[in-house]
Amino acid sequence: MEETKDFDDIRPYRDEEIPAAMRRIAESTSFPLLASYVFPDRDIASVREFVKSLRTIDEFQSQVMFHMNAQVIRRTMTSFTWGGLEHLSPGRRYLFIGNHRDIVLDSSLMQYVLYNNGHETSEITFGANLMQSPLIVDIGKANKMFRVERPGNSPREFYRASLRVSEYIRYTLLDKRQSVWMAQRNGRTKDGLDLTDQGVIKMLGLSRTDNKVEALDELCIVPVAISYEWEPCDILKALELYERKLTGRYVKKPGEDVNSILTGITQPKGRVHLHFCEPLRREELALYDACTQGNFHRAVACLIDRRIHRAYRLTPNNYIAHDLRHGRSTYMDCYTPGQKEDFLHRLEALCPYEETCDPDVLADILLGIYANPVDSALNDEASQPLY
């Protein structure tokens, strides 16, 4: 089936559009910085000619993005592990719904794992707000990212935007035969609570309304959990949550999204684990067939949450933060004095902001980012593996 023009403004690039995109990337003013990070042992001129020679999406992903991920892993992680691949078949297509901790890395690392293990990479949702420059657009769309517009303020605009995304996702999975990655809710998890927005489930069903169970079952939903020992942009997230708590709202500053992308990529992350959970089964979905639409969406969101919480890898940082936040030593057997000292140094990084913020409130917010996954595990009565 040919891709319709209805999606031309949001779809990723096709192979025939890659050569022109590669030329634009290679000639951008930011290219030397990008090239030196991805290919630190090669001179810029040779990398520029190499990038210009790429002709397909697969070449760009395998010969550029693969090395970008490898550099991030080598430079910012003490280990990167993955699991759950036994739940996937190379011949099937899936809707991956992931917890969202980092703007770029959550989906990018998943692509790295899929590629490394003989699976085709997926398309990726990418917020229109992040496509702030032609360079980001070219890199994103060459990496199978498709544009998702923020819904308008009116109910009609919201519905139209949601329906459009729903139709494209279903079309991509069932007609193009491409997997898709999307976040479990709009925007990153800022507070450490990985909770699926039931509105996401509602959106997925808009493109097929005759049978709500079949509408989701045919998408083959696979929850994906990514766990970072050191939360990407943790202090930036804490400052945003502080302002929301203080004023009830948060206004992004110019260039803030780009700063978050760069911080997330370059910040030390310690041990990182990505896990593919068991796909949602038709019989699970059918248990809620008699429910109202709202209750059905809520129940499916809970199914996804339980899988993600059980697959999430708790680290000593999570237990340290939980004990510090509650003034206890409940989990002292889960960490060493040295690990606790390292975490306390992270709290000290908040000091420059204490002149403008209440230090106790700000520290409690940062502790919550790391402590809340422990509470999620307890609430789901799941036995969490410890590194």
Token pair recorded at residue 26:
């290679």
Residues 90 and 155 in one domain: yes
Residues 281 and 132 in one domain: yes
Residues 165 and 300 in one domain: yes
Q: Output the CA–CA distances (angstroms, integers) from residue 8 to 12, 24, 120, 141, in the order listed.
A: 8, 20, 22, 12
Q: HSE of 326 in the Cβ direction (CA atoms, 13 Å)?
A: 15
DSSP reduced 3-state for 296: helix
Return the pLDDT at 1.
38
Residues 370 and 222 in one domain: no
Residues 293 and 367 in one domain: no
Residues 220 and 282 in one domain: yes
Which residue, 313, 342, 368, sits at the end of a domain? 313
CA distance 236 to 358: 15
Which residue, 313, 331, 349, sits at the end of a domain? 313
Distance between the two ends of the chain, CA-based, in angstroms? Answer: 46
Residues 92 and 178 in one domain: yes
Does any domain span residue 129? yes
Residues 97 and 142 in one domain: yes
Residues 275 and 331 in one domain: no
Q: Output the CA–CA distances (angstroms, integers) from residue 93 to 11, 87, 286, in the order listed.
A: 18, 12, 21
CATH of the domain at 124: 3.40.1130.10
Which residue, 257, 279, 313, sits at the end of a domain? 313
Does any domain span residue 353? yes
Show pLDDT as tens, one digit a residue, over the chain (387 residues).
344 558 998 999 999 999 999 999 999 999 999 999 999 999 999 999 999 999 999 999 999 999 999 999 999 999 999 999 999 999 999 999 999 999 999 999 999 999 999 999 999 999 888 887 899 999 999 999 999 987 667 888 889 999 999 999 999 999 999 999 999 998 899 999 999 999 999 999 999 999 999 999 999 999 999 999 999 999 999 999 999 999 999 988 888 888 999 999 999 999 999 999 999 999 999 999 999 999 999 999 999 999 999 999 999 999 999 999 999 999 999 999 999 999 999 999 999 998 899 999 999 999 999 999 999 999 876 444 444
Q: Output the CA–CA distances (angstroms, integers) from residue 269 to 198, 232, 272, in the order listed.
A: 30, 7, 7
Q: Output the CA–CA distances (angstroms, integers) from residue 350 to 25, 101, 122, 205, 364, in the order listed.
A: 37, 20, 38, 43, 11
Q: Output the CA–CA distances (angstroms, integers) from residue 273 to 28, 78, 230, 270, in the order listed.
A: 34, 11, 12, 10
Amino acid in the structure at residue 224: V
Return the pLDDT at 384.
46
Return the pLDDT at 380.
76
Does any domain span residue 50? no
Residues 197 and 227 in one domain: yes
Residues 153 and 183 in one domain: yes
Query: Residue 348 is part of which domain span?
Result: 317-379
* CA neighbor of 331 nearest in space, from 343, 349, 346, 347: 343
Token pair recorded at residue 41:
């042992």
Residues 347 and 277 in one domain: no
Does any domain span residue 170? yes
CA distance 325 to 257: 29
Q: Looking at the 3D structure of the chain, how many domains does it have?
A: 2
Does any domain span residue 43? no
Using alpha carbons only, what angle is made at residue 278 by residues 178 and 213, rounded to the nearest 5 degrees? 70
